[in-house]
Amino acid sequence: MKDLPRNDWPREKLERVGRAALGDVELVALLLGSGTRQHDALEVAQTVLRHSDGVTGLQRVGLDELRRIPGVGPARAARLSAGLELGRRAVQTQAGARPQFRAPEDLARYLLPLHGGYRVEHFGAVLLDIRFRLIRASVLSVGTQDGALAQPREVFREALLASASRVVIFHNHPSGDPDPSQDDVMVTRRMMDAGETMGIPVMDHIILGAGRYYSFKAGNLLG
């Protein structure tokens, strides 16, 4: 970075031309905040992006893995992880607007940027009112690469507390392949049975992969 003119350093460039003009390496360098004695922030940022296979893969890298990247460490990993989470949340609809979900593609469009990139399985529920409008979406359990525990009581406790009229369950496949497994089918059946008992129907089960999704409703696996 010392070889660059001062006004082309990431922070100065941001102030001069705005954030949209910065490249991926420059944005990551700003999140890192500083470099090390051996490597400046841009060099460390390049290492981070190489390790994660670019920005798309960066959201799949957990905090522990970030800490182990040369030049990152706990403090920089925390800053980078927080920045990634802010970006993830920014994808959500602006406050005050409540999106309406009637079709699987609408749900997938909302969920994929938020929950599709994890390297371990996250299971959650989208809670909807009687008009199919979003109340909230919550991650209810986090597992290992081999799977997350999904319990009906957790889903429907959330639904009851939120006065939800219907539920969509979702989880991601760390492999990137959203095709359902036999376990996924069994979990869906169990959730549907619980929803029928509680009077809060399960509207769909969305499995999130690498830029793709599977809908049990669209696949006619809810009948």
- Tens of pLDDT, residue by residue over 137-171, are 988 998 866 667 778 999 999 999 999 999 999 99
What is the pTM (predicted TM-score) of this model? 0.65
Read off the pLDDT band of 92 (50, 70, 90).
low
Starting at the earlier edge strand, list the strands of the sheet with 213-215: 134-142, 122-128, 166-172, 202-208, 213-215
SS (H, E, C) 146-167: CECCCCHHHHHHHHHHCCCCEE
Q: What is the mean pLDDT of residues 2-12?
A: 73
Read off the pLDDT band of 223 (50, 70, 90).
low
The answer, yes or no, to whether residue 2 has pLDDT greater than 70, is no
Q: Report residue 176 as tokens.
A: 């990137």
The answer, yes or no, to whether residue 134 has pLDDT greater than 70, is yes
Inter-residue contact 170 to 205 (CB < 8 Å): yes
Poorest-pLDDT segment among 48-57, 128-137, 198-207: 48-57
The answer, yes or no, to whether residue 23 has pLDDT greater than 60, is yes
Residue in the structure block whose two tokens are 């830029």: 211
- The arrangement of secondary structure in 104-215, i.e. its CATH architecture, is 3-Layer(aba) Sandwich (3.40)
Read off the pLDDT band of 17 (50, 70, 90).
confident
Q: What is the mean pLDDT of residues 109-119?
A: 86
CATH among 1.20.1070, 1.10.405, 1.10.150, 1.10.3470 for 6-90 = 1.10.150
Could you tell me the residue ranges of all domains in the chain? 6-90, 104-215
Residue 134 β-bridge partners = 128
Q: Report residue 155 as tokens.
A: 């889903």
Identify residue 9 by its one-letter amino acid code.
W
Inter-residue contact 144 to 120 (CB < 8 Å): yes
Q: Over the chain, what is the mean pLDDT?
A: 86
